Homo-oligomer: A and B are copies of this chain.
Amino acid sequence: MNYSEAKNKFINAWGSLATQWGINRTMAQIHALLFITPGPLSVEEMMEELQISRGNTSMNLRQLMDWGIVFKEIRSGDRKEYFYTEKDVHELARIIMAERSRREIQPTIRILSEVSELKEDGTAETREFIKQTKAMFELTSTADSMINRMVKQNKNWLTNAVIKLFT
């Protein structure tokens, strides 16, 4: 396996894993490319490497910047913009977990808390509904605050967690 084969394999695997987790393929591929490339890349270089259009590249770069994992670099004396990603895997995981919590888990928790306040009316249906949505609310809240506390610790949060859990 040479460099170019390995690179393609990694970029494609990343892209297809992403779709299984609800993230668009191109966004994951751009990220993968920046992740393994030593220095920043211009839009042109990414278009060429991934065979995608300018519009697609631009929109996905913007999303990656919104997530806080890709950054823009401007070089004096050069009109082009260059992009690079967070290279530290722990920091990357941290940012992604914190964002998913903020964007998806927390809104879900709000809805769970809301629906689980349904007034008991004596029927088996409402009793079950309240019991189950309350249980889901508690599980989700616990998991979410666990994730957020883990993620707010220092760089070695994952290693620390492993040590605490298995000693």
Contact = CB atoms under 8 A, between A and B. Distances in A.
A10 B104 CA distance: 15
A10 B146 contact: no
Interface residues of A, number: 56
A57 interface: no
A162 B28 CA distance: 31
Copies in the complex: 2
Interface in A28-86: 35-38
Contacts of A114: 1, 9
Given A38-B125, A158-B139, A118 B22 contact: no
Contact of A36 (B9, B128, B146, B164): B128
A159 B138 CA distance: 11
A103 to B, nearest CB: 8
Interface of A: 1-3, 6-7, 9-10, 13, 17, 19-22, 35-38, 87-90, 93, 104, 108, 111-112, 114-115, 117-118, 121, 123-129, 132-133, 135-136, 138-139, 142-143, 146, 149-150, 158-159, 161-162, 164-166
10 contacts: A1-B114, A6-B129, A7-B129, A9-B114, A9-B115, A19-B22, A139-B158, A146-B162, A146-B166, A165-B165
